[in-house]
Amino acid sequence: MFVVNSFKYFIIVTLFLFAHGAYAAALPNFTELVEQVAPSVVNISTTQKVKPHAGLPPGIEMPELPENSPWGDLFKKFFGDKGAPSEKFDTQSLGSGFIIDEAGYIITNNHVIRNAEEVIVRLNDRREFKAEIIGSDPRSDVALLKVEATDLPAVKLADVDNLKVGEWVLAIGSPFGFDHSVSVGIVSAIGRNLPSENYVPFIQTDVAINPGNSGGPLFNMDGEVVGINSQIYSRTGGFMGLSFAIPMKVAVEVVEQLKSKGRVTRGWLGILIQDVNRELAESFGMKQPRGAVVLRILEDSPASKAGFKVGDVVVDFNGISINRSSDLPIAVGSTKTGSKVKVKVIREGKSRTLKVVIEELPSEEELADSSPDKPSKLNRIGASVSDLTEAQRDSLNIQKGGVYVQKTGKGPARESGIKSGDVILKLNGVDIKNAKHFRSLVKKLPTGKSLPILIQRRTSPIFLVIKIKED
CATH number at residue 298: 2.30.42.10
Same domain assignment for residues 285 and 230: no
Same domain assignment for residues 67 and 141: yes
Same domain assignment for residues 137 and 180: no
Q: What's the confidence (pLDDT) of residue 226? A: 97
The answer to whether the CB of 174 falls within 8 A of the CB of 241 is: no
User: In sequence order, what are the residues at sequence separation of 6 or more whose Cβ sits closer than 8 angstroms to the Cβ of residue 207?
Assistant: 169, 170, 171, 183, 184, 185, 218, 229, 243
Q: Return the minimum-mean-pLDDT range out of 6-20, 29-43, 335-349, 355-369.
A: 6-20
Same domain assignment for residues 299 and 351: yes
- Segment 198-223 mean pLDDT: 94
DSSP state of 1: -
d(CA 317, CA 329): 10
- Segment 242-268 mean pLDDT: 93
Q: Return the minimum-mean-pLDDT range out of 60-74, 172-186, 349-363, 399-413.
A: 60-74
Distance of CA 240 to the CA centre of its chain: 22
Report if residue 10 sits inside a domain.
no
The last residue of one of the domains, among 126, 146, 166, is 146
Q: What's the confidence (pLDDT) of residue 2? A: 46
d(CA 172, CA 245): 13
d(CA 409, CA 378): 7
Report if residue 9 sits inside a domain.
no
DSSP H helices, 2-122, are 2-26, 31-37, 70-79, 110-113
The answer to whether the CB of 140 falls within 8 A of the CB of 199 is: yes
Q: Is 3 strand, coil or helix?
A: helix
The answer to whether residue 368 scores a pLDDT higher than 80 is no
The answer to whether residue 465 scores a pLDDT higher than 70 is yes
Q: What's the confidence (pLDDT) of residue 363? A: 76
The last residue of one of the domains, among 261, 295, 330, is 261
- Segment 118-144 mean pLDDT: 94
Report if residue 228 sits inside a domain.
yes
Same domain assignment for residues 352 and 370: no
Q: Would you please indicate which residues are annotated as catalytic (active-site) residues?
A: 111, 141, 214
The answer to whether residue 4 scores a pLDDT higher than 80 is no
Report if residue 161 sits inside a domain.
yes
- Segment 355-379 mean pLDDT: 71
Q: What's the confidence (pLDDT) of residue 16? A: 59
Same domain assignment for residues 51 and 123: yes
d(CA 88, CA 93): 16
User: What's the pTM?
Assistant: 0.69
Q: Return the minimum-mean-pLDDT range out of 47-51, 66-70, 138-142, 167-171.
A: 66-70
The last residue of one of the domains, among 92, 119, 146, is 146
Nearest CA to 401 among 444, 431, 365?
431
Give the total residue count for the chain.
Answer: 471
Q: Is 42 strand, coil or helix?
A: strand
Same domain assignment for residues 274 and 356: yes
Same domain assignment for residues 348 and 439: no
- Segment 460-467 mean pLDDT: 89
The answer to whether the CB of 25 falls within 8 A of the CB of 162 is: no
Same domain assignment for residues 48 and 130: yes
Same domain assignment for residues 87 and 125: yes
Expressed as residue numbers, the domain containing 97 is 41-146
What total of structural domains would you count in the chain? 4
One-letter amino acid at 336 equals: K
Distance of CA 135 to the CA centre of its chain: 14
Tell the burial category of 288 from Cβ atoms under 10 Å away from its Cβ (0-12, 13-18, 19+).
exposed
The answer to whether residue 246 scores a pLDDT higher than 70 is yes
Same domain assignment for residues 124 and 104: yes
Neighbours of 98 (CB within 10 A): 23
Task: State how far the alpha carbon of 4 is from the alpha carbons of 9, 11, 357, in Å.
Answer: 9, 11, 84
- Segment 358-372 mean pLDDT: 72
d(CA 163, CA 166): 9
Task: State how far the alpha carbon of 261 is from the alpha carbons of 135, 170, 255, 256, in Å.
Answer: 9, 32, 10, 9
- Segment 234-250 mean pLDDT: 88
- 48 pLDDT band (50/70/90 cuts)? confident
The answer to whether residue 392 scores a pLDDT higher than 80 is yes
Q: What's the confidence (pLDDT) of residue 86? A: 47
The answer to whether residue 44 scores a pLDDT higher than 70 is yes
Report if residue 11 sits inside a domain.
no
Report if residue 408 sits inside a domain.
yes
Report if residue 22 sits inside a domain.
no
> What share of the chain in percent tops pLDDT 70?
82
Q: What's the confidence (pLDDT) of residue 342? A: 96
Report if residue 20 sits inside a domain.
no
Same domain assignment for residues 411 and 339: no
The answer to whether residue 398 scores a pLDDT higher than 80 is yes
Segments of 363-421 assigned E as strands: 383-387, 403-408
Q: Give the residue with greater pLDDT, 150 vs 163.
A: 163
The answer to whether residue 42 scores a pLDDT higher than 90 is yes
